[in-house]
Amino acid sequence: MKVLALIARILLGLTFVVFGLNGFLHFIPQPPSPEVAQTFFAALAATGYMIPLLFATQIAGGVLLLVGLVPLGVLVLTPVIVNIFAFHLFLVPDGLPIAILVTVLAVFLAWAHRAAYTALFRPTT
């Protein structure tokens, strides 16, 4: 289990660091997207802050995973992963297998580190 968690942590961490950096540096060519996906990204870009925030969050979450702060890294990346999954489920189904893989890796890491999240589910007094 520890070896699987290490592999999942490194794969997920590297994925988010690389694709987060690509959002700023554009070193991986992007294939043409369907018009609906272009419209979605245009709307995010029109805010002036959402695209840089998205890519910075990916880098931060990926780095947290790579340095071993797995529960925090998964927590930071969860909203990003939910949106990646929904984006591919509803707008660009071609990327759904990768979105599913990323989701499975994150859920596996969350499960492997579930003890770290118990305080989030305890009622406070």
pLDDT string in tens for the chain (125-residue length): 899 999 999 999 999 999 999 999 999 998 899 999 999 999 999 999 999 999 999 999 999 999 999 999 999 999 999 999 999 999 999 999 999 999 999 999 999 999 999 999 999 87
Residue 71 lies inside a defined structural domain of this protein: yes
Q: Which domain holds residue 9?
A: 2-26+49-115
Residue 44 lies inside a defined structural domain of this protein: no
Say how far apart CA 17 and CA 91 lie, in whole Å: 24
Say how far apart CA 50 and CA 21 lie, in whole Å: 15
pLDDT score recorded for residue 1? 86
Residue 93 lies inside a defined structural domain of this protein: yes
Residue 35 lies inside a defined structural domain of this protein: no
pLDDT score recorded for residue 125? 77
Give the CA angle between residues 68, 21, 92 to the nearest 5°.
100
What the block records as the tokens of 98 is 């990768």
Residue 109 lies inside a defined structural domain of this protein: yes
List Cβ neighbours of 4 (8 Å cut-off, separation of 6 or more).
108, 112
Residue 38 lies inside a defined structural domain of this protein: no
Phi, psi of 34 (to 5 degrees): -60, 155
Residue 124 lies inside a defined structural domain of this protein: no
Q: How many domains does the chain have?
A: 1
Residue 106 lies inside a defined structural domain of this protein: yes
pLDDT score recorded for residue 124? 85
Strand, helix or coil for residue 31: coil
